[in-house]
Structure 1
Amino acid sequence: MPSVPSQLVPSQLRMSVVICVYTEERWDDILAAVDSVRDQSLPAHETLLVVDHNPALLRRLAAYYGDQGPGAAVRMLANAGPRGLSAGRNTGIAVSTGEVIAFLDDDAVAERDWLHHFAAAYADPAVLAVGGRTVPVWASRRRPPWFPEEFDWVVGCTYRGLPPGRVQVRNVLGGNASFRREAFQLTGGFATGIGRDGDKRPLGCEETELCIRLTRARPDAVLLIDDRAVIHHKVPPARERFAYFRTRAYAEGLSKALVARSVGAQAGLSTERRYTTRVLPAGIARGLRDALLGRPGGAGRAGAIVAGVAAAASGYVVGAARARGSGGAGFAVPPLPEAGAGTGTRAEAADAPPRPAQGRV
Structure 2
Amino acid sequence: MAVAELDLDPDGPDGPVLSFGPALGGPPPGAGDIFALVRLRGRPIATVLGHVGADEDPAEVLTAVFRARKGPYGPPAPAEPTPAEPTPAKLTRAAPTPAEPVREAPVREAPASEAPAPPAAVVTAPPRTTVVVATRERAGQLARALDSLLAQDHPDFRVLVVDNAPVTTATRDLVESRYAGRVDYVQEPRPGLAVAHNSGAAAADGTVIAFTDDDVIADPHWLTALTAPFAADPGLGCVTGLILPARLTTSAQILLESHGGFAKGFEPRLYDPASPPAGEPLFPFTAGSFGSGANMAFRAEALRAVGGFDPATGTGTAARGGDDLYAFVRILAEGHRLRYAPEALVWHHHRETWQDLRNQAYGYGAGLTAYLTAILVRHPALLPALLAKLPRGLAHARAITAHRPDPAGDPAPGTHGARAHPWPRDLSRLERRGMLYGPLGYLKARIRVRRQAGGRTQPRGEARVRRRARVRRRARVRRRTRGERS
1:10–1:149 CA distance, 2 compared to 1 (3 A)? farther
- Give 1:185 deviation, angstroms: 2.2
d(CA) in 2 for partners of 1:267 and 1:148? Answer: 31
Q: Does 1:234 align with 2:349?
A: yes
Corresponding position of 2:141 = 29
How do 1:1-361 and structure 2 match up within 5 A? 10-11=124-125, 13-23=127-137, 26-54=138-166, 55-57=168-170, 58-66=172-180, 68=181, 73-79=182-188, 82-122=190-230, 123-138=232-247, 140=249, 146-147=255-256, 149-150=258-259, 152=261, 157-158=262-263, 162-169=264-271, 170=287, 171-197=290-316, 203-216=320-333, 218-219=334-335, 221-238=336-353, 241=354, 243-264=355-376, 267=386, 284-285=405-406, 289=410, 301-304=421-424, 306-320=425-439, 334=458, 337=461
Separation (CA, whole Å) in 2 of partners of 1:165 and 1:297: 18
SS at 1:235 equivalent: coil
Deviation of 1:260 (Å): 2.1
CA contact (8 A) 2:259 2:417 kept: no
Residues 171-192 of structure 1 deviation map (CA, whole Å, 9 limit, x = unaligned):
4311111011012221121111
Please state how far the C-alpha of 1:286 moved relative to its aligned partner: 6.1
Q: Residues 75 and 150 of structure 1: is their aligned pair in 2 closer, same or farther, counting only changes over 3 Å?
A: same
Structure exhibiting the larger radius of gyration computed from Cα positions: 2
CA contact (8 A) 1:150 1:280 kept: no
| TM norm structure 1 | 0.71
Match of 1:353 in 2: none
Deviation at 1:281, TM superposition (A): 7.2
1:172/1:47 CA distance change after superposition, 3 Å: same
Task: Report deviation, 1:50.
Answer: 1.1
- 1:202 CA drift (Å): 8.7
Deviations along 1:33-60, one digit per CA (max 9) or x if unpaired, are: 1221221121342110111132512133
In structure 2, stretches of 5+ residues that fail to align are 1-120, 272-286, 377-382, 451-456, 466-486
Q: Please report how far the alpha carbon of residue 142 of structure 1 lies from its aligned counterpart in structure 2 after TM superposition.
A: 7.5
* CA–CA distance in structure 2, aligned partners of residues 143 and 257 of structure 1: 25
Q: CA RMSD in A?
A: 4.1
Residue-pair matches, total: 308
Query: Quick one: structure 1 residues 275 and 177, their matched pair in 2 at CA, closer, same or farther if it must change by over 3 Å?
Result: farther
Tell me by how many angstroms 1:96 deviates. Answer: 1.0
Q: Which protein has greater RCO, CA pairs closer than 8 Å, 6+ apart?
A: 1
Offset of residue 140 of structure 1: 1.4
Distance 1:204 1:296, change over 3 A: closer
**C-alpha contact (below 8 Å) 2:252/2:352 kept by paired residues:** no
Note the C-alpha offset of 1:61: 2.1
Cα distance in 2 for residues equivalent to 1:193 and 1:301: 35
After superposing the two structures, state which structure 1 stretch, 221-230 or 246-255, moved more. 246-255
Distance 1:60 1:138, change over 3 A: closer
Per-residue CA shift, 1:52-105, capped at 9, x if unaligned? 132512133212222x4xxxx4111112x5112111111111111111011121
CA distance in 2, matches of 1:15, 1:78: 20
Partners of 1:286 and 1:244 in 2: how far apart? 28
Equivalents in 1 of 2:462, 2:330: separation in Å? 22
What residue number does 1:344 align with?
Answer: none
Structure 1: distance between partners of 2:237 and 2:416: 43
Q: 1:296 & 1:97 partners in 2: Cα distance?
A: 41
- For 1:354, the equivalent position in structure 2 comes to none
Aligned-partner Cα distance in 1 for 2:386–2:449: 17
Larger fraction in helix: 1
Whole-angstrom distance in 2 between the partners of 1:165 and 1:251: 28
The Cα offsets for residues 290-328 of structure 1, whole Å up to 9 and x where unpaired, read as: 7xx9x9996673243x4433222222123346668x7x8
Identity of aligned residues (%): 20
Distance, in Å, in 2 between the alignment partners of 1:288 and 1:302 is 13
* Residues 91, 337 of structure 1: 8 Å contact kept: yes
Identify which range, 136-145 or 12-21, moves more after superposition. 136-145
Distance change in 2, residues 1:43/1:301 (3 Å): same
In the superposition, the TM-score normalised over structure 2's length comes to 0.54
Task: Give 1:282 deviation, angstroms.
Answer: 10
Q: Aligned partner of 2:330: which letter?
A: R
Cα distance in 2 for partners of 1:151, 1:274 equals 21
Contact 1:188-1:336 within 8 A present in 2 as well: no
The CA distance in 1 between the partners of 2:197 and 2:214, in whole Å, is: 12
Equivalent residue number for residue 358 of structure 1: none
Distance in 2 (alpha carbons) for counterparts of 1:322 and 1:101:
28
Q: 1:322 to 1:114 in 2, by over 3 A?
A: closer
In structure 2, what is the Cα distance between the partners aligned to 1:322 and 1:140? 33
Which residue is equivalent to 1:355? none
C-alpha change, 1:299 and 1:77, in structure 2 (3 Å) is: same
Helix, strand or coil at the partner of 1:61? helix
Distance 2:458 2:122 in 1: 30
